[in-house]
Amino acid sequence: MGDYNEFSTGVRLFLRAYPWRKIDPVPFVPICKPVSECRLALISSAGFATVDQPPFDEGIRGGDASFRTISSDCELAELINTHRSESFDHKGLEQDPNLGFPLERLRELVADGQIGSLNSRHLSFMGSITAPARLTRETAPEAVSMLVRDGVELALLVPV
């Protein structure tokens, strides 16, 4: 994680003025069985899309609150980084998508018996959503419902 002083002056001013929201209590449900028996879905805010999906829309004021489904058997090298933030260097994500979407690492954990199974699909959101109302009211409940229907018992959130 970067240090606050590494950001540009404009980003630091934005972070100071931004009306951060506090969620209290934080939603949490304890798991009732070992991780080695659970189905897991990956949820990332790295802004990845597949070649056949539209990129996230940079023109939406406050951020694109939609998500892309990424198949569990996709080749990570084929993912396209469409994250809009200029607050970090994207070279690492482009060289190794596992940094923001660690699907290959999760496959290894399944093969090793540390995780029961992976869901057939995972979710990629756009980070840097500065107006999250649409995300919290519409998109997140839709995503959660989809994962519940899939029988997902654990979600790994990878914020970028």
HEC secondary structure over 65-106 = CCEEEEECCCCHHHCEECCCCCCCCCHHHHHCHHHCCCHHHH
Residue 143: name the closest of 155, 159, 132, 131 by CA. Answer: 155
Q: Is residue 58 part of a domain?
A: yes
Range from 59-63, 90-94, 116-120 carrying the lowest mean pLDDT: 90-94
Least confidently predicted of 46-50, 118-122, 128-132? 128-132
Report the pLDDT value the prediction gives residue 44, as an integer from 0 to 100. 95
CB atoms within 10 A of CB 22: 5
- Mean pLDDT rounded to a whole number for the chain: 90
Could you tell me the pLDDT band of residue 1, with boundaries at 50, 70 and 90? low
The predicted model gives 54-72 an average pLDDT of 93
At residue 2, the pLDDT reads 63
Let me know if residue 136 belongs to a domain: yes
Rounded mean pLDDT, 7-24: 82
Confidence of residue 16 (pLDDT cuts 50, 70, 90): confident
Residue 17 lies in a domain: no
The reply to whether 11 falls in a domain is: no
Q: Which of 130, 120, 128, 139 is nearest to 41 (CA)?
A: 120
> Would you say residue 21 lies in a domain?
no
The whole-model pTM stands at 0.88
Cα–Cα dist 111/117, whole Å: 9
Residue 115 resides in a domain: yes
d(CA 28, CA 15): 27
pLDDT of residue 66: 96
Could you read off the pLDDT of 66-92 as tens digits, one per residue? 999 999 999 998 998 887 777 777 687
- Domain limits for position 81: 28-158
Q: 151 versus 14: which is more confidently predicted?
A: 151
Mean pLDDT of 148-157: 96
Query: What's the domain count of the chain?
Result: 1
Task: Provide the token pair at 77.
Answer: 């090298």
- 6 secondary structure, DSSP code: G
The average pLDDT across 143-147 equals 97
- Sort strands 48-49 and 80-81 into parallel, antiparallel or unpaired: antiparallel
Note whether 23 and 103 are within 8 A (CB).
no
